[in-house]
Chain A
Amino acid sequence: MMRRREFLRAVGGAGAAALLGPLEGGAQQRPVKLGALFDVTGATGDVGSHFADGFRDYIRWVNEHGGKIDLIWSDYQYKPDQAVAFLKKLVEQDQVPAISGWGTGDSILMKPQIESYGIPYIPASLHEGLLDPPNDWIWLIGPSYTDHMKTLLDYVKRTYKGIGRPRVALAVHNSEYGRSPVGPAKAYAPTIGVEIVDVEEVPSNVLDATSQLLTMKRYAPTHIIIQNVARPAAIVARDARKLGLDAQILGIHYIGDQLLFDLAGEAANGVIASTFVSNWFEAVPGMAQVHRLNAAYHPEVTVRPLHYTQGVVHAMVWVEVLKRAPSPTRAGIRSALGALRMTTGGLTAPISYGPAKRKGAEGIKLLEADVRTKQFKPITGWLTPPR
């Protein structure tokens, strides 16, 4: 309670001033609508609920400080049907001028509709394929999974000290989200002198990954790169160590979760995670605000995974775009988004969009897991992914 009052006092003034931009226009203070799809209780709800919390918390804070954003959201439970129906409702009935999305599969499904409606859309998914032409209305918040993969491959090449070429095995989720960086990895690796020796698929309800890892072991990989959500990623890391695979383990984004320490124990030590948002424990200026947001609205939660921060960042981007848009219409928002330049206080690399640039924050940070403190420590600054 005390914290909250302090917090409000401390930032209320600054916040209100910062937000009074387009709302100064006088009496018409009409709320600006924003649509959002979240997965809170569905198949990816374990991370989606944190994303939803972060997003909603930031919007709530903005509204409590003079903002007027009418967030129309729904938990579509990762069901494509509900996503499509909700999309149509948002556009045709609620007439929102922009939509924040979530999953890879349903974003693919909705893309034709988004293009035909002509409505700005930023999903939480980082699937490169969403930007394939024809694409005028979809932007990504950060580097795609493919970019993460290439950055990790570069890192592997840079740090490999053994004989011959590094041998990389991939352990991916059995969905489009998991598979999307595989092809590009196979194309990119030879160009920098890295071999992709094996690709294994690991589904999210996996109980044990022994068979996949035994197969992988046959190829004697020096590195394992995991593109999977937190639980299966942690299980792969744990089982790899257990079976005597002493390859260096790296993972894209989702592996950077406390669950890694809980499930993989000692095996988590030294795991390298790539991320485009800063970690809960990092001392970047923006993180203080994220902590305060969480403390204000969810005092019982002490630590949040990076999806909470990602939700906050997405909301920040939208608020900024809505502020700068010449008019709260789809075209207006598109023009503002297409030329957006902003920083997030270190939560991500600086965000910018342009005519040929549809990925906002193009910085990837590498973190290393430290079992003793059960935290991820950054080992690089913001790296730019290779083209």
Chain B
Amino acid sequence: MTIFLQLVVTGVAVGMVYALAALGFVVVYKASRVLNLAQGYFLALGAFGALLLAQLTRLPFALAVLGSLLGSLLLGLLVERLLLRPLIGKPVIAVIMVTVGLAAVLRGVILLRWGAGNFGFPQLLPESPLRAGPLIVSPVHLGALVISLLMLGVFVAFFRGTTLGVAMRAVADDQQAAQALGVSVPRVLGASWAIAAAVAATAGVVVGSINGLNADALSFIGLKVFPAVILGGLDSVPGAVVGGLAIGVLENLAGGYVDPLVGGGAKEVAPFLVLVLVLMVRPYGLFGTVEIERV
């Protein structure tokens, strides 16, 4: 039983990171129906950006992270303006591929500045793990959980409270109606990409502080996002969170219980098997809106 709980606890910690990345993904999809295959690199760039700022300036680490977030906001705006806007109305394959091209460019930028090696953030939290009964949690994971929950809270407040947030929900619901009511759709699209990049950057900083920075390892999270968003629903923000957590837990459970039986690898492939299962049984996920086609 302890093993089960321990796996779940770790799964939740990892799942929070997936949830953050998935959140950014969903925001973009809701606004513009685009699958952002560069989400993993927004994540990596956010982490490396924080590293750069921390190294270049003598700012305390928290400010470096903030700086990286601001930079990511800017990056998202730029990406939308330069890459996505010219492709409005083009076939969906073109938009997917432009995010692929963007991913390659971002990867190249990281390689250019840092190379393929491993890097670390300055240590912020104590290392010795905390114990809650028989369960063990590392402070970094707890910190990650707290930050992720905070971010979620900010999100919810943003979407409920601010004008821009409400405008984004309107555009996601019905673009034309929103336009008729005076919402500037290009601004909303830009905002959605900016948010996606910033949220991914947060996730990147979180993962980076747990596991060090490595361009390929960080960007792989961008692929784990897919099982999470399919499970939760491609256009559902709460779905992204639930999906991310679920996939994190599932992964760990598969690793703990199935891997010993098959000799390894189940942990990596389980999320994708779940993805296929969900697609076959309930394609719109737990919370996604069902698309009904009427002929």
A contact set with B: CB distance below 8 Å: 40-46, 48-50, 174, 199-201, 203-208, 210-212, 214-215, 218, 230-231, 234-235, 242-244, 259, 262-263, 265-266
Q: How many A-B residue pairs have CB under 8 A?
A: 110
Whether B120 contacts A46 by the Cβ 8 Å rule is no
Among A199, A211, A243, A266, the residue within 8 A (CB) of B252 is: A211
Among B7, B212, B216, the residue within 8 A (CB) of A214 is: B7
Instruction: Determine the main DSSP class of B at the interface with A.
Output: helix
Whether B216 contacts A262 by the Cβ 8 Å rule is no
- 5 pairs from A and B in contact (CB 8 Å cutoff): A46-B115, A211-B10, A211-B253, A214-B3, A242-B138
Whether B268 contacts A203 by the Cβ 8 Å rule is yes
Whether B216 contacts A205 by the Cβ 8 Å rule is yes
What is the distance, in angstroms, from A177's C-beta to the closest C-beta of chain B? Answer: 14
Whether B212 contacts A263 by the Cβ 8 Å rule is yes
Among B10, B123, B217, the residue within 8 A (CB) of A210 is: B10
Q: Which residues of B contact A231 (CB under 8 A)?
A: 118, 211-212, 214, 217
What is the distance, in angstroms, from B110's C-beta to the closest C-beta of chain A? Answer: 10
Shortest Cβ-Cβ A-B pairs, 5 listed: A211-B255, A45-B116, A201-B264, A262-B120, A211-B256
CA distance A85 to B228 in the complex (A): 38
Q: Which residues of B contact A205 (CB under 8 A)?
A: 214, 216-217, 220
Most buried by A among B6, B116, B252: B116
Which B81-140 residues have C-beta < 8 A from chain A? 111, 115-118, 120, 123, 127-129, 136, 138
Q: Which residues of B contact A262 (CB under 8 A)?
A: 118, 120, 212
Q: Which residues of B contact A210 (CB under 8 A)?
A: 6-7, 10, 252, 255-256
B186: interface (CB < 8 Å) = no
Whether A201 contacts B265 by the Cβ 8 Å rule is yes
B207: interface (CB < 8 Å) = yes
B169: interface (CB < 8 Å) = no
CA distance A205 to B220 in the complex (A): 7
CA distance A103 to B117 in the complex (A): 16
Most buried by A among B13, B207, B216: B216
What is the distance, in angstroms, from A41's C-beta to the closest C-beta of chain B? Answer: 5
Q: Which residues of A contact B129 (CB under 8 A)?
A: 242
Whether B6 contacts A263 by the Cβ 8 Å rule is no
Whether A235 contacts B211 by the Cβ 8 Å rule is yes
B14: interface (CB < 8 Å) = yes
Whether A215 contacts B259 by the Cβ 8 Å rule is yes
Whether A200 contacts B264 by the Cβ 8 Å rule is yes
Given contacts A42-B116, A208-B211, contact A215 B256 (CB under 8 A): yes
B221: interface (CB < 8 Å) = yes
What is the distance, in angstroms, from B1's C-beta to the closest C-beta of chain A? Answer: 12
